[in-house]
Structure 1
Amino acid sequence: MKNQIAIGCSSFYNRFWKNIFYPRNLPSKSWFDFYCQHFNTYEFNGSFYKFPTVRVFNNWYNKTPESFLFSIKVPKEITHIKKLKDCEMLLNDFYEVCKEGMKEKLGAILFQFPPSYNFSKQRLDNIIGLLNYDFQNVVEFRHITWWNDEVWKTFKDNNITFCSVSYPNLPVTIFNDFPLLYIRFHGVPKLFHSSYSTEQLHDLNEAIHSKNGFVYFNNTASEAGILNALELKRMHTK
């Protein structure tokens, strides 16, 4: 990807989107195919809940268009349970499955840490020491202590992207000076539900002009996510 923003959602199997995005008579088994006709990327969150296999990723690879890109979320066993402790082999296995399963359709690798995971120098060093820099690594924090100059400088020095988030009670900052621009819209004030206004999306579109990366809408507990993604895509492709 060079000077290209890929816009998509963090889920697709959504009954709220029927008659709004998915045609009334379209069977649910065809929803992802329809999604791929309108978007060129998908943030795969299923790997967060269940460690993926090459076979599963090959299936996703085979049913998407040639230019499609997946961003893959790291399993919660690594980020939430072990919190990067004693999981070097597990993380290496995950990287390998992503590489072999998604091939050239692999976009970013997303590490999302829990709100309880606050900043410490040891934790920062642990992240730097464990990540595989052959991949496009993106790290999302949900504790405000990570919003600091030491983290940002260390990430830039090691080619890691600090994830921009729209999340209740976290700073609304679009970080566009990291290797990738990677933004996740989770819904504010109501997490996973709230929609973003046309004005907010217009300001976002101005901020991401001529950048390289991904924008995903995770406010998918309602129809908001798909409507926001479609509106931003229309703005960005004008």
Structure 2
Amino acid sequence: MTSAPPKAKPTAKAGRIRIGISGWRYPPWRGVFYPDKLTQARELEYASRALPVIELNGSFYSLQTPERYARWAEDTPAGFMFTVKAPRYITHIRRLDDPLEPMANFMASGLFELGPKLGAILWQFPPGMRFDPEKFETFLALLPHTAAQAKALAKQRSSRMHGKESLEPGARQKFRHAIEVRNDSFVDPAFIDMLRKYKAALVVADTGGRWPEYEDLTADFVYVRLHGANALYESGYAEKQLDDWARRIRSWAKGSQHRGAKLMSTTSAPKRAARDVFCFFDNTAKIAAPANAQRLREKLKA
């Protein structure tokens, strides 16, 4: 009697990789990424079918409205995601002073209308802002991670929001947070410990050496912003550079750190079977971002 062949070991499941662009309204893209006769009103519709995720950055400059978020969700296909850039009023103007009410206003401004299309929230801090452990811990402790926490925070919005807010998140809506810092004072293992404590991702940023570029894993997902390897916001990525980012992203999606990673902390990240990866090309001043994103997707089969 012939014995049955041994069962193959199941392949380890990698996290979901989403490669996209930061914003979608750029005149130089018309006739290059966008078809010649495509109206501006249909650019999001087109971009969201060419790429699986877009970083929404209008929210950085001013609070958006529930109606606008609902329209963006409606204009994009099932499975598509947005990440939302938090208001500069919190990060750049107030610099985390008394953050509760402005964070509540942001949470109530319409994020819940994205439902499952909300991928993560990006908190970017200015180059002149130094690491203040007490201030950052207060901020990180306020970040919601569940629908119930997000609703509780949104309910603390200011009276000026009444009548133009959205206060009911989806029952299964996730709230993930990514922190991008641009001051060398954050190059501190204590900062990494703090991010891990509050389950926030350190943004892996490629800035041509202008700002800190570290790759510590601090959450169950990885958030990458590629601003331009040579000229900030402008230069495109060559094939070898894209190959290198593909190598890193494959490791992160499998839950592990890539070989040669530049780290702040000597303490290893908690092991995970997989990590989701969001990667955005922010070299948008020229026409490189959409082409770079599409090429990296091809390399990763993502």
Normalised TM-score (structure 1): 0.93
3-state SS of paired residue (1:163) = strand
Shift of 1:58: 0.6
3-state SS of paired residue (1:208) = helix
Residues in 2 aligned to 1:112 and 1:39: alpha-carbon distance in whole angstroms: 23
For the 8 Å contact 2:83–2:118, the answer to whether it is kept is yes
Counterpart in the other structure of 1:108: 120
Could you list the per-position Cα deviations for residues 165-193 of structure 1 after superposition, in whole angstroms to 9, with x for gaps in the alignment?
01142243344453211001112332211
Which of 247, 250, 271 matches 1:206? Answer: 247
Q: Which has the larger radius of gyration?
A: 2
Mapping of residues 103-142 of structure 1, within 5 Å: 103-134=115-146, 135-142=175-182
Provide structure 1 residue ranges, at least 5 long, that are not aligned to the other structure: none
3-state SS of paired residue (1:107) = strand
Counterpart in the other structure of 1:234: 298
Residues in 2 aligned to 1:197 and 1:219: alpha-carbon distance in whole angstroms: 13
Residues in 2 aligned to 1:120 and 1:142: alpha-carbon distance in whole angstroms: 13
Counterpart in the other structure of 2:234: 193
Amino acid at match of 2:245: L
Counterpart in the other structure of 1:222: 286
3-state SS of paired residue (1:89) = helix
For the 8 Å contact 1:184–1:217, the answer to whether it is kept is yes
Could you list the per-position Cα deviations for residues 93-138 of structure 1 after superposition, in whole angstroms to 9, with x for gaps in the alignment?
2123344221111110111011001112223323223322332011
3-state SS of paired residue (2:109) = helix
Counterpart in the other structure of 1:148: 188
Amino acid at match of 1:195: G
For the 8 Å contact 2:141–2:198, the answer to whether it is kept is no
Q: Which moved more, 1:219-228 or 1:176-185?
A: 176-185
For the 8 Å contact 2:18–2:279, the answer to whether it is kept is yes
Counterpart in the other structure of 2:15: 3
Structure 1 pair 235/187, CA: closer, same or farther in 2 (3 Å)? same
Which of 156, 165, 171 matches 2:205? Answer: 165
Identity rate, percent: 28
Q: Which moved more, 1:40-49 or 1:94-103?
A: 94-103
Could you list the per-position Cα deviations for residues 23-50 of structure 1 after superposition, in whole angstroms to 9, with x for gaps in the alignment?
2232332222111111111100000111
Provide structure 2 residue ranges, at least 5 long, that are not aligned to the other structure: 1-13, 147-174, 254-274
Q: What value does the CA root-mean-square deviation take over the aligned residues?
A: 1.7
Residues in 2 aligned to 1:225 and 1:197: alpha-carbon distance in whole angstroms: 12
Residues in 1 aligned to 2:213 and 2:236: alpha-carbon distance in whole angstroms: 15
Mapping of residues 172-187 of structure 1, within 5 Å: 172-176=213-217, 178-187=219-228
Residues in 1 aligned to 2:191 and 2:201: alpha-carbon distance in whole angstroms: 11
Counterpart in the other structure of 1:34: 46
* Count of residues in correspondence between the two structures: 237
Normalised TM-score (structure 2): 0.74
For the 8 Å contact 1:174–1:183, the answer to whether it is kept is no
Residues in 2 aligned to 1:54 and 1:229: alpha-carbon distance in whole angstroms: 29
Counterpart in the other structure of 2:76: 64
Residues in 2 aligned to 1:110 and 1:151: alpha-carbon distance in whole angstroms: 17
Which of 45, 52, 75 matches 2:64? Answer: 52
Runs of 4+ in 1 over 6 A off after TM superposition: none
3-state SS of paired residue (1:159) = coil
